[in-house]
Structure 1
Amino acid sequence: MLSLHVHDPVPPLVGHLPMGTAPDDPRPVRVDSRAVGRDGRPWLPVMGEFHFSRFPEARWRRELLMMRAGGIDLVATYLFWNHHEGSRGQLRFDGDRDVRRFVELCAELDLAVSVRIGPWSHGECRNGGFPDWLADVDCAPRTDDPAYLDLVRPYYAAIAEQLDGLWWADGGPIVAVQVENELYDQPDHLATLRALAEEVGMSAPLWTATGWGAAQLPPDVVLPLYGGYPEAFWEDASDGWAREVRRHYFPTPIRDDHAIGADLRTTAPEGSGPDDTRYPYATCELGGGMAIAYHRRPLVPAADVSALALTKLASGSAWQGYYLHHGCSQRLDLSTPNQESHATGYPNDLPVVNYDFQAPLGEYGQVRPSFAALRLQHLFLRDNGADLAPAELHLPDVTPADLDDRATLRWSVRCSGGPAFLFVNNHQPHEPLPDHHDVRFEVVLGDRTVRLPAEGVTIPSGAHFAWPIGYRVGEVDLAWASAMPVARSTWDGVPTAVFVATAGITPQFALPVGTEVDGARVDEHGVTTVANPGVDALVTATTPDGATARLLVLDEANGPRLQRLDVSGVDTLVLCDEPVVVDGDSTWLETGVEQVEVSSLPAPGVTRVLAGAPPLPTPTVEVVRAEAEAPPARTGGSRDRASAPLDEDFEHAAVHRVVVPPEALAGDDEVLLVLGYTGDVARAYLGGRLVADHFWHGPEWEIGLRRFADDVLEHGVEIRVLPRPAESAVYVDQSVRAQYKASLDTASVDSVRLVRRTRVELW
């Protein structure tokens, strides 16, 4: 029996901080030491990062709709100074730089916004987003040097002018503003930046700053936000897993992360950082994936992302913020390449264009498995976030000894007097955790002891989930359940809850003794067992006092397919492999397969099979030059790591020309060119113009053609592939190293196909 004792279920609360809206605001936002509150109740924000100026404006609305369909309710975005003031005094907010249009779209779609205004932003942008001309000005950037502030003031004023009327106090969507980024030792400067922003007209209930690396922040002026990633491209090219990253797969009260941005620090973190007892645990950079650097190319499966996110909830997170939730591309219309690189003094060489980040939504809007894995957690938060947000972390009596402990089960409970939630994470990257056999939990909540499940179970390797303790469905009380609650609604007048089982664990529900159950087996203690979870596993329970509720218990395979929609005011649950989008009076999905299945719930729901994307013709591939010459192995940057090939090296690459049939690009659908190649790096050109690039790390290379359609048809897509220099120290995941070895003497395009993402109307 694994035990946990909560001796004081309701820890002392630090009351409202001097942050938020006025008490009489019609849309109140407040923050205390446990949680953010909105509209008079706790709010656990689900925030996704999407960089508007790195993505074509014509498709912003579609991408925001997709993010909303994934459970995002707060959109974070950087403003990169060099995107808006590339030439001193010449400010641009047109086209893809139009931050006002982006925020207006968020407002239209009922998405709150957090603007990260810099001036230094990072985001793997050249010089952190500082414009090149700043280096020629006699000033001390990122300090209170008056000469520097004189440059920041007009930039901030221009942002304020663009966003006039869109602040929260005006009825707009901007609920938070972040000043600077990863600034560790200038608390007075952070306070100055907030004051300066407010002076020129910016307004928000919440002002934030990144708190990792033991950052010194001005107390109560900014809310500290934290992060954690499943991998780290900024580590050396060693074969091992980045050690500090392991921490994010253990429930722990430690919020700080000394790994993020460590490659840019010149000194080790000092001090204890912000006072964790004063602020809620809020995050802005939970890894939705990981970028690829030339020297280190991690592979991030969906479970690495979802297990990390769930472990942060298990650790007390009251604000889930993902970086990135939507991938993007570096701008190519600036006077200098926009990525961080050895040429800019950065320790790592990043691709010139690609900033896909292996995110839940990719560089061209591709839907990744991590999207559905996170959406399932977001359904859990949509239904339970108000209870979970103020709930405190409680760790078991026996916890893992250190970051190398793979034998001790990782679990925790969050509660503060109301419903409690038991979290388990038995997944971590690279080094799988073992199965845990004959597991039962004992949770002591004051004078109440809960033991679950009814008998010992095996927690499989890779499992990560949350179970409720004290859970109400209508008027029916569940003492506990050994399945994850993801939605409560009312169907045909009957309160109904949807749960998702964990593979290998039979779901059980502790109902009041004497409850009559239809659709499952119940024992004399009121424990109901659902032996075969699935779309038809619908249980009706009627308590001795006549209260009735239904439980729909999905199997693990269908859990990530579950989606909750508001269709014309009707709460609707469906199962589908593709994200279903509600857009006003229209409900639709996009698919790249020939047919797609949509099932309504509850059982016995209706299943519809819809025509999707018909197969596209295979492009023609012309071999222009088969031979390739490996570039010399180079190193650079402050850490002397392997450097990416230079522009001139691609003059010696293998060259293939892909000819796309005109009918493939008819219409407005996105069309992906999917390439399999052998080599170290590859680039795509249109009429001699670089449009996409890729550092090989295992998956096929996908290029969205819609934004380049005219040039694709006129020129064809020229693919240049270089082999790997034998002396370059490059890390790729263990699972793909045998394939990567071939790049030492081969540079070739091996497969080419087209995938059309076709829009299908549902209702």
Structure 2
Amino acid sequence: MKPATAITFKAPGKIPAATPHHLGMGGKSPAGMEIDVTSQYITIDGKPVLPVSGEMHFSRYPNQFWEEELLKMKACGITIIASYIFWIHHEEVKDEFDWTGDRDLRKFVQLCAKHGLLVFLRLGPFCHGECRNGGIPDWFWTSSAKRTTDPEFLARTRILYQEIAKQVRGLLFKDGGPVAMIQLENEMCAGEKGIPYMQALKRIAIEAGFDVPIYTATGWGDSSIPPGELIPTFGSYPDTPWDTNYKPYGTEHSKCFFFTPERDDGFIDNKAVVNDAGRSKYKHPYLTCETGPGIQITYSRRPIIQPADVLSLALIKVGNGANMIGYYVFHGGTHPVGKLTTMEENLGRPSMLIYPTFSYDFQAPLGEFGQVRPSYHGYRLLHLFLEAFGSRLAPMVPVLPEAYPMDLDDADTPRAGARVAGNAGFVFYNNHDRFNPRMHDIPGVSFKISLPGGTIAFPAQPVIFKKGTYGILPFNLDVHGVVLRYATAQPITMLGSEKECTLFFFQLDGMDPEFAFVEGTVDSVRLPAGSKAKIQRAGGQVILTGIKPGRDVQITAIAESGSAVHIVLLDAGDAGHFWKGHAWGQERAIIASTNLYFDSGDAVLYGEEACGATVSIFPPGGLALSAGGVGIDPATDGAFARFVLPRKKEAARIAVKAVHGKDDPGSWQLDIPKDALDGSQDLFLSIEYIGNSATLNVDGKDVADDFYSGVPWIVGIKRWAPRVLESGARLSITPLDAGDEIFLEKWPAAGKGAITMQKLVSISAWQESSVRVTNGSS
């Protein structure tokens, strides 16, 4: 039996006060809303916040579907929409700017404003983003003057910035619009030599009219950050699409799965990482703009990113002290086809660094065709936590444990960090490492934290860090006068008022839930009738054990003032289906059997099983719900009210017929029923194949592609309707050679004596429908 492990932290006695108006940044809207940047965090109307930025490239997604995708992002807790503005997408031909259709920046920003989302514009002129020339048009790409203070390049950049400014005129934060942040350039890692160039870009941006609260530049590597002018932002990824190495990685790449004071990440700029926490670029609020929620597939590297790979990475960034989490990209897209060329990356890097012509899926939480991946639901739990507790978390400083892993191979020493302010804080832990096969369960874990007001040790019974898990545990959490000394469950959010509120937690794998209250802060602690939980008092604490997850209120703590704090502990399954948003007149918590977003005070459910879905809603009062004009009767579901949406008819089974080409062994004609979109908003194809790559052709034009990675290729067809329903589509698969220099998580088995593989295994299809749930009493 491995001996028990006490993870020990020593909190700082005093934390330097945050200085307002850091670098002179900040701004106020005409309505009086104020955004400020302090030396440690961002505030809105004087309150610390921990915003969540998600990147979606408007010019890589059909504009007629932007609004729904933005609502999906908002429902996941994204509060800021970031987007590159790829110069080449708008001025492919010199002096001919195009801001129409899918390039309509103004429409995109207006939709963000409509739904209360702030906007973070990444202006370029160089963006990268796996775009052709990094976004610089062909007609300037060959010039040696690019990305310098050369007058010709700055003159063209001035024109670009002026054109962008025209598109967002009246939409800046100071005008009552959503544009609150801009980024200049991208990855200018020239050290001090690049500072005059970055200074020139800021001058040009301001002269063009970009008066915004926050100005940033990417901060990794030997970044060129003009002192006192720009806030550096950081990032981290679970793999490297810019590497041609087709061999499996080892723990030399495990750094991103450790808690550390360093903000640089070797995966982004491994040739210029400067690991010096005393550098000037660290003396700013810690913001990220490229925390990877996925990774792009390339010809050489085709990793399959699992939810734990990216969810643990984001949690670690918060534990490390990040006070804005920015994801690149949160929504996948498709490279557009230009007038002259295609738009995928071709930066002249190694010849094997080849990208798909169309697909920029990125294995993102919301994929290239808007499909929802499992990571989306994990992110929502983290983002709800940041929304509810961000004002407390943002001023907290990161603290590392006294016993730290010895090296990147160490799978035995627990990986943990804490954020602390005064006597309160949160413990973050991670026992997942994509690159370390030696990771294992770590039993007997407890915590000991030295605080200014004394030492806290918990829990009463040690917990297990299960392999592949990660989580957040609160200590000394003050909720309207009731102090939760600790909990071995992860907080999600809270609803209610100071007089009566409900905290939602979920059970973590490997941890028996314990909740302990500071005895002097509670008048009484109550359990529901029939509960088998136990209450004991020891060391000035009221400790509750044996709590079973469910949808009931499992604990009620009454403060001396009479205010009530209820606790609902969900299991992991319910937590994955937990949503929170404004619906039917107030903030609601919903457990739904399908996906949803909030729109105009209603909830819109979508997915394969939207009709007939089940929703359980808290608080349950004031509801007379209907869907499709049909009223729905509620049933009691613990503290929730449960509604089952009417099912109009059995879900149609759509059969897509694949006819193998007689003259081309790698070609199949896909016949899609003409009524495939009847009663639905999209039809998704799941194409399981073995080969090097696959391409879909509609009406004689290639429209989508995929590099084989071992997982089915998911394609949504609505963007090509009605032509795809009339003429079908042609699927082409190129052969995969057993000797190809490609990294795959698992190579398919070639037939006996075969060296090439080219096979369509199966095609399945499902309809995605949606239903709006309204309330007759709202």
TM score, norm. by length of structure 2: 0.90
> How far is the alpha carbon of 1:106 from its aligned partner?
0.3
Output the CA distance in 1 between the equivalents of 2:744 and 2:457.
44
Is residue 665 of structure 2 the alignment partner of residue 677 of structure 1? Answer: no
Output the CA distance in 2 between the equivalents of 1:488 and 1:479.
17
Are the structure 2 counterparts of residues 384 and 626 from structure 1 closer, same or farther at C-alpha, using a change threshold of 3 Å? farther
Q: In structure 2, what is the equivalent of residue 610 of structure 1? A: 645
Uncovered stretches (5+) of structure 1, i.e. residues with no partner: 629-653
Alignment of 1:707-746 (within 5 A): 707-733=719-745, 736-738=746-748, 744-746=755-757
Q: In structure 2, what is the equivalent of residue 249 of structure 1? A: 257
- SS of residue matched to 1:752: strand
> How far is the alpha carbon of 1:15 from its aligned partner?
4.9
Q: In structure 1, what is the equivalent of residue 57 of structure 2? A: 51
- SS of residue matched to 1:498: strand
Is residue 440 of structure 2 the alignment partner of residue 434 of structure 1? Answer: yes
Are the structure 2 counterparts of residues 254 and 326 from structure 1 closer, same or farther at C-alpha, using a change threshold of 3 Å? same
2:659 to 609, 619, 622: 622
Is residue 397 of structure 2 the alignment partner of residue 392 of structure 1? Answer: yes
Q: In structure 1, what is the equivalent of residue 632 of structure 2? A: none
Amino acid at match of 2:230: V
Q: In structure 2, what is the equivalent of residue 632 of structure 1? A: none
Alignment of 1:650-729 (within 5 A): 654-666=666-678, 669-729=681-741
Are the structure 2 counterparts of residues 139 and 374 from structure 1 closer, same or farther at C-alpha, using a change threshold of 3 Å? same
Amino acid at match of 2:484: L
Output the CA distance in 1 between the equivalents of 2:347 and 2:43.
44
> How far is the alpha carbon of 1:667 from its aligned partner?
5.2
> How far is the alpha carbon of 1:728 from its aligned partner?
1.8
Is residue 219 of structure 2 the alignment partner of residue 229 of structure 1? Answer: no
1:413 to 401, 418, 440: 418
Output the CA distance in 2 between the equivalents of 1:174 and 1:530.
49
Amino acid at match of 1:518: L
Amino acid at match of 1:711: R
Output the CA distance in 1 between the equivalents of 2:420 and 2:498.
32
> How far is the alpha carbon of 1:17 from its aligned partner?
1.4
Output the CA distance in 1 between the equivalents of 2:349 and 2:63.
28
Output the CA distance in 2 between the equivalents of 1:153 and 1:544.
63
2:132 to 123, 126, 133: 126
1:590 to 603, 606, 613: 606
Is residue 97 of structure 2 the alignment partner of residue 91 of structure 1? Answer: yes
- Does the CA contact (< 8 Å) of 1:49 and 1:326 recur in 2? yes
User: CA deviation digits over 1:390-421, x for unaligned, max 9?
Assistant: 21101111011121211110111101226311
> How far is the alpha carbon of 1:534 from its aligned partner?
2.2
Output the CA distance in 1 between the equivalents of 2:639 and 2:324.
36
1:600 to 572, 594, 617: 617
User: CA deviation digits over 1:672-718, x for unaligned, max 9?
Assistant: 12211121211111122000111111211111110101221232110
- Does the CA contact (< 8 Å) of 1:683 and 1:719 recur in 2? yes
Output the CA distance in 2 between the equivalents of 1:479 and 1:40.
28
Q: In structure 2, what is the equivalent of residue 637 of structure 1? A: none
1:291 to 282, 287, 296: 296
- Does the CA contact (< 8 Å) of 1:387 and 1:418 recur in 2? no
Is residue 588 of structure 2 the alignment partner of residue 572 of structure 1? Answer: yes
Output the CA distance in 1 between the equivalents of 2:29 and 2:246.
56
Q: In structure 2, what is the equivalent of residue 361 of structure 1? A: 366
Output the CA distance in 1 between the equivalents of 2:263 and 2:367.
28
1:749 to 753, 756, 760: 760
Output the CA distance in 2 between the equivalents of 1:460 and 1:270.
33
Are the structure 2 counterparts of residues 94 and 55 from structure 1 closer, same or farther at C-alpha, using a change threshold of 3 Å? same
Deviation larger for 537-546 or 750-759: 537-546
Deviation larger for 434-443 or 601-610: 601-610
- SS of residue matched to 1:523: strand
Percent identity between matched residues is: 33
> How far is the alpha carbon of 1:494 from its aligned partner?
2.7
Are the structure 2 counterparts of residues 336 and 277 from structure 1 closer, same or farther at C-alpha, using a change threshold of 3 Å? closer
- Does the CA contact (< 8 Å) of 1:411 and 1:425 recur in 2? yes
1:77 to 57, 80, 83: 83
Alignment of 1:149-548 (within 5 A): 149-185=154-190, 186-241=194-249, 243=251, 245-261=253-269, 268-269=272-273, 275-341=280-346, 348-417=353-422, 419-432=424-437, 433-490=439-496, 494-513=500-519, 515-519=524-528, 520-525=533-538, 526-536=542-552, 538-543=554-559, 546-548=562-564
- Does the CA contact (< 8 Å) of 2:397 and 2:420 recur in 1? yes
Output the CA distance in 2 between the equivalents of 1:741 and 1:75.
47
User: CA deviation digits over 1:60-89, x for unaligned, max 9?
Assistant: 000000000000000000100000001000
Are the structure 2 counterparts of residues 620 and 22 from structure 1 closer, same or farther at C-alpha, using a change threshold of 3 Å? closer
- Does the CA contact (< 8 Å) of 2:251 and 2:436 recur in 1? no
Output the CA distance in 2 between the equivalents of 1:463 and 1:726.
35
User: CA deviation digits over 1:113-143, x for unaligned, max 9?
Assistant: 000010000000011011111135x551001
Amino acid at match of 1:475: G
- Does the CA contact (< 8 Å) of 1:674 and 1:703 recur in 2? yes
Deviation larger for 534-543 or 27-36: 534-543
Amino acid at match of 2:461: E
Deviation larger for 43-52 or 451-460: 451-460
- Does the CA contact (< 8 Å) of 1:208 and 1:225 recur in 2? yes
User: CA deviation digits over 1:431-477, x for unaligned, max 9?
Assistant: 35211111110001123111111121222112211111111233321
- Does the CA contact (< 8 Å) of 2:709 and 2:744 recur in 1? yes
- SS of residue matched to 2:613: strand
Deviation larger for 156-165 or 474-483: 474-483
Deviation larger for 425-434 or 65-74: 425-434
- Does the CA contact (< 8 Å) of 2:258 and 2:316 recur in 1? yes
User: CA deviation digits over 1:264-316, x for unaligned, max 9?
Assistant: xxx64569595255201110001110100011101001111111100111111
Are the structure 2 counterparts of residues 35 and 24 from structure 1 closer, same or farther at C-alpha, using a change threshold of 3 Å? same
Are the structure 2 counterparts of residues 522 and 609 from structure 1 closer, same or farther at C-alpha, using a change threshold of 3 Å? same
Are the structure 2 counterparts of residues 460 and 361 from structure 1 closer, same or farther at C-alpha, using a change threshold of 3 Å? same
Amino acid at match of 2:101: G
Deviation larger for 13-22 or 457-466: 13-22
Amino acid at match of 2:573: A
User: CA deviation digits over 1:710-751, x for unaligned, max 9?
Assistant: 221232110011111343210011xx3245889943312221
Output the CA distance in 2 between the equivalents of 1:491 and 1:622.
61
Are the structure 2 counterparts of residues 758 and 147 from structure 1 closer, same or farther at C-alpha, using a change threshold of 3 Å? same
Are the structure 2 counterparts of residues 37 and 662 from structure 1 closer, same or farther at C-alpha, using a change threshold of 3 Å? same
Deviation larger for 189-198 or 337-346: 337-346
> How far is the alpha carbon of 1:620 from its aligned partner?
1.6
Amino acid at match of 2:613: V
Are the structure 2 counterparts of residues 422 and 168 from structure 1 closer, same or farther at C-alpha, using a change threshold of 3 Å? same
- Does the CA contact (< 8 Å) of 2:297 and 2:355 recur in 1? yes
Output the CA distance in 1 between the equivalents of 2:83 and 2:60.
10
- Does the CA contact (< 8 Å) of 1:494 and 1:549 recur in 2? yes
- SS of residue matched to 2:573: coil
Are the structure 2 counterparts of residues 492 and 270 from structure 1 closer, same or farther at C-alpha, using a change threshold of 3 Å? closer
Output the CA distance in 2 between the equivalents of 1:308 and 1:741.
39
Structural RMSD (CA): 2.3
Is residue 127 of structure 2 the alignment partner of residue 117 of structure 1? Answer: no
